[in-house]
Amino acid sequence: MIRILIADDIAENRYMLETLLKGNGYEVVAACNGSEALELARKTPPDLIVTDILMPVMDGFALCREWKADELLKQIPFVFYTATYTEPKDEEFALSLGAERFIVKPKKPEEIVELLHEILDDVHAGRLIPGEPSHKKEKDFLQDYNATLLRKLERKMGQLERSNEALKQEIVERKRIESELLYRNTILATQQEATLDGILIVGGEGRILSFNKRFLEMWGLPSDIITEKSDARMLQSALDKVADPGSFFDKVKYLYEHKDQTSRDVIELKDHRTFDRYSAPIIGDQGQYYGRVWYFRDITEQKKLEEQLRQAQKMEAIGALAGGVAHDFNNILSAIMGYACLLQMKTRPDDAVGDYIDQILAGTKRGAGLTKSLLAFGRKQPMALRPVNINDLIRGFQKMIGRLIGEDIEFTVACAEDSLIVESDAGQLEQVLMNLMTNARDAMPSGGKLTISTSTFTARTDQDEIEQGSYALIAVSDTGSGMDKETQEHIFEPFFTTKEVGKGTGLGLAMAYGIVKDHRGFIRVYSEPDKGTTFKIYLPLTSRPLPVSPKEDEMLLPAGSETILLVEDNANVRLVTGDLLREFGYTVLEAVDGEDAVRVFEENGDRVQLVLCDLVMPKKSGKEAVEEIRKKRPEMKAIFTSGYTAEIIARKGMLEDDINFLSKPVSMIDLIRKVREVLDS
């Protein structure tokens, strides 16, 4: 078997060449440098040697000189196989040493095998003449050898300089990139810490990679969880804090199973905070999954503001509604009240009909009070606060309440012995109590007990948001169905109701809350399911005295004989008002609008002593009509009325501080006294 010796200091090269040659049927012996190859060859000469040039101890050139100088080896073909010395002068020097072939790497495996096979065939056929060294003298060899090494060194130095320059550029570029990365990381870290959001970044293996201080503040996590950086433990801690841990966990599980999904939802915590939660995957350029980022934002205050805005919008809607219907409703009440007054005037004191008339008048007052409550609730009309004895107010409508609640409910009134004087709009406060007792009745469909009581209450320290001071306490208690905590949290919200459709508007308690608040008071509810309900109203006591009741002679309504121009576009109100004025001796001229008023005045100018005029009318307003009349009679006296709210009238530019104004519905007493007062002024 043909034996080939290979010499190469690189193990991988030796292995490759050895495997290639053995695979083609050659026996192979390998050495790692020239000295070792020379020693192996002298012991057992090979049929051919293949050697690298650049090797430690003895390089390929020195090996070739020694090889060709050895009588035992010089006839054996010597082949250089190099990737280092590749220039023509390198090949020229190698062949001058007596080498048979100079092969430059890389070569295809089949080409190498073919070249070596060709050399061996030439040897066997006697066609290959062994190479003879051209350097007979050592001096000549060393001179050419040093020149070759110098060329190689120069090439290496050039390569090294180029490599160093490239390395310098690479270092500069790397430093630039590192600086840019540091800058970007600083910006990102600053943004992460400056944001109001809590940020958590979890790696693909479930380890926590990063989080900011805001995240820790929001979730209040224990220090050991932070140190351990375990997403599983952090998740368990979060589950202990959320109101619905089941859905919270299901969402987290779903997102970790569906790695490409983003998500945004709202979570409620047990401490009543609300978080907006957003999560997105971290995906690389090649689609690789690196983990997931979680953002948490505390939107508790935002939700409160949104709720306040909704409440404000509801109140604005109520105010707009009330302001729109107040005019027509008040005109209707004016007609009912006027005709009831006429009936009352014509009824004997002992006539049973008088009681019915009283109830009609009381009903119209309550209707007017309801309109005022709606307007006050929608901030369209201010309260008219005067000293009121709470006990007298409750006793005043006790009889009516008894009829309202029905016979199957036991109704009890327990008023304090002492007078409880508060500054109140009596009509509005009656509306509050009416609403509470109506609700109590509805909560007892099968009957029960309803109690209204009054007492004094002194808040010495802040209790349940009640400021310190002395209060009149009104308690309305029933033995009805009661309410749970969740219902109690919403009962004072506009449009919230637990009643069936058509049986409740959801405005009663909202108006009650607003009225009590406008009285600088407080309203609280105490209730449990199936254990009844108690509403407590706290109104500040006042030291102001009650208004003095008029003497009997002062209660007589003054009559007159003057001529009054009555201007009213509502026919019913115009007719009943004219009849009332005539009952008290006045002559009444009627007009249906502002233009008609000017015409009637021009025809009867000398007779008219007073204009009683609606403010808002078609064609020409009451104010414009009176101004035109005063151009002819500057001293003309006038009283204006309207069913619109003061705000709407002021917006129309019709309400001035010095005008005489009566708000509809006007009671007979107020109308007659005002007419007399203006005529006598």
Measure the CA dihedral 215/218/222/224, to 10°.
Answer: 0
Q: What is the pLDDT of residue 618?
A: 83
- Is it the case that residue 629 has pLDDT exceeding 80? yes
Query: How many Cβ atoms sit within 10 Å of the Cβ of residue 265?
Result: 12
Percent of all residues in the chain with a pLDDT value above 70, rounded to a whole number: 84
Residue among 436, 402, 401, 400 nearest 511 (CA): 436
pLDDT band at 269 (very low <50, low <70, confident <90, very high): very high
Query: Which architecture does CATH list for 315-355+553-681?
Result: 3-Layer(aba) Sandwich (3.40)
Q: What is the pLDDT of residue 554?
A: 46
pLDDT, average across residues 363-380:
65
- Is it the case that residue 419 has pLDDT exceeding 60? yes
Cα R_g (the chain), whole angstroms? 55
Select the CATH number that applies to the domain covering 195-298 from these four: 3.40.710.10, 3.40.50.300, 3.40.50.150, 3.30.450.20.
Answer: 3.30.450.20
> How far, in Å, CA of 33 to CA of 58, rounded?
6
Q: Indicate the DSSP class of residue 76.
A: S
Q: Which of 45-54, 363-372, 577-586 has the lowest mean pLDDT?
A: 363-372
271-319 pLDDT tens trace = 989 999 999 999 988 888 988 999 999 999 888 888 777 766 766 666 6
Q: What is the pLDDT of residue 262?
A: 92
- 3 state SS for 604-656: HCCCEEEEEEECCCCCCCHHHHHHHHHHHCCCCEEEEEECCCHHHHHHCCCCC
279: enclosing H helix or E strand? strand 274-283
Using DSSP, state whether 452 is helix, strand or coil.
Answer: strand
Give the number of C-alpha atoms closer than 13 A to the C-alpha of residue 641, restricted to the C-beta side.
25
Percent of all residues in the chain with a pLDDT value above 90, rounded to a whole number: 27
403: enclosing H helix or E strand? helix 398-405
Q: What is the pLDDT of residue 42?
A: 94
- Is it the case that residue 24 has pLDDT exceeding 90? yes
Q: State the average pLDDT for the chain.
A: 83
Q: Return residue ranges of the chain for CATH 3.40.50.2300.
A: 3-134, 315-355+553-681
> How far, in Å, CA of 365 to CA of 384, rounded?
15
CA distances from 177 to 164, 169, 188 (A): 19, 12, 16
- Signed CA dihedral, 157, 163, 167, 170: sign only: positive
493-508 pLDDT tens trace = 776 776 665 455 567 7
**Amino acid of residue 277:** R
Buried b / exposed e along 35-67 (16+ C-beta atoms within 10 A):
bbbbebbeeeebbbbbbbbebeebbbbbbbbbb
Q: Return residue ranges of the chain for CATH 3.30.450.20.
A: 195-298
More confident residue, 418 or 189: 418
Residue among 90, 73, 87, 88 nearest 7 (CA): 73
512-540 pLDDT tens trace = 888 888 888 999 999 989 889 999 999 99
For residue 524, the Cα-to-chain-centroid distance in whole angstroms is 30
Tokens found for residue 226: 């932070």
Query: Which architecture does CATH list for 3-134?
Result: 3-Layer(aba) Sandwich (3.40)
> How far, in Å, CA of 60 to CA of 82, rounded?
9
> How far, in Å, CA of 389 to CA of 427, rounded?
13
439-480 pLDDT tens trace = 888 888 888 999 999 999 988 766 656 788 899 999 999 998
CA distances from 678 to 583, 661, 674, 675 (A): 18, 11, 6, 5
Q: Which of 88-97, 401-410, 476-485 has the lowest mean pLDDT?
A: 401-410
Concatenating the DSSP letter of every residue in 166-212 gives HHHHHHHHHHHHHHHHHHHHHHHHHHHHHSSSEEEEEETTSBEEEE-
- 3 state SS for 454-518: EEEEEECCCECCECCEEEEEEEEEECCCCCCHHHHCCCCCCCCCCCCCCCCCCCHHHHHHHHHHH
> How far, in Å, CA of 591 to CA of 269, rounded?
67
Q: What is the pLDDT of residue 552?
A: 41
More confident residue, 319 or 243: 243
Q: Indicate the DSSP class of residue 127.
A: -
40-91 pLDDT tens trace = 999 999 999 999 988 889 988 889 989 988 989 989 999 999 887 678 888 8
> How far, in Å, CA of 426 to CA of 381, rounded?
15
> How far, in Å, CA of 427 to CA of 70, rounded?
136
pLDDT, average across residues 155-170:
79
> How far, in Å, CA of 206 to CA of 229, rounded?
9
Cis peptide, bond prior to residue 106, ω within 30 of zero: yes
pLDDT, average across residues 565-581:
90
pLDDT band at 656 (very low <50, low <70, confident <90, very high): low
Q: Which residue's entry shows tokens 């009805």? A: 480
Residue among 73, 138, 76, 135 nearest 101 (CA): 76
Q: Indicate the DSSP class of residue 384.
A: -
Buried b / exposed e along 406-424 (16+ C-beta atoms within 10 A):
eeebebeeebeeeebbbbb
148: enclosing H helix or E strand? helix 138-194
Using CB atoms within 10 Å of the CB of residue 335, give its burial: 0 to 12 exposed, 13 to 18 middle, 19+ buried: buried
Q: What are phi and psi of 634, to 5 degrees?
A: -55, -25
For residue 338, the Cα-to-chain-centroid distance in whole angstroms is 55
